[in-house]
Amino acid sequence: MESSREGLGLIKRSEGFRSHAYVDVAGYRTIGYGHRIARKEAFEDGISEAEAEALLAADVRQAELTVGRLVRVALTQGQFDALVDFCFNLGAGRLGASTLLRELNAGRHEAAGEQLLYWVYAGGEMNKALKARREAEYQLWTRAEAKEAAA
């Protein structure tokens, strides 16, 4: 499964484009659309939006592969998009160790979706941007469920 245009749009809107390196809310050096800068990478002169798009595509692909590896149940496109955004934002380790994943792999899709809404803290404080992002993920998750129920 691959991220939809809507899923990619959520990541891009949530991350925003930055042509020069910055330190994100979690303390990581970041550039482009939320690309965490690895030790071997240097972007001293910044990057173009096209370069940021290429980094984003590679980073999203890694998140997609992680979701595919960890999830043991069928997903709707919206659920997949929400999980890819979650994994892109928080990392494979957080998804892998989460109650969200345990609920999902136990077949409790509704309870798993609700778990998204708990991941709104940065540095021990509720973060408005994370709250908005998790609510957008939840909307993708539940909209997909509603469409399938109607079908």
Residues designated catalytic: 15
Q: What residues contact 37, with CB distance under 8 A and at least 6 apart? A: 21, 28, 29, 30, 31, 43
CB 97 within 8 A of CB 23: no
Q: Which two tokens stand for residue 99?
A: 């109650």
CB 65 within 8 A of CB 10: no
Q: Which two tokens stand for residue 144?
A: 């997909």
Q: What residues contact 60, with CB distance under 8 A and at least 6 apart? A: 3, 8, 11, 84, 88
Amino acid symbol at 116:
L
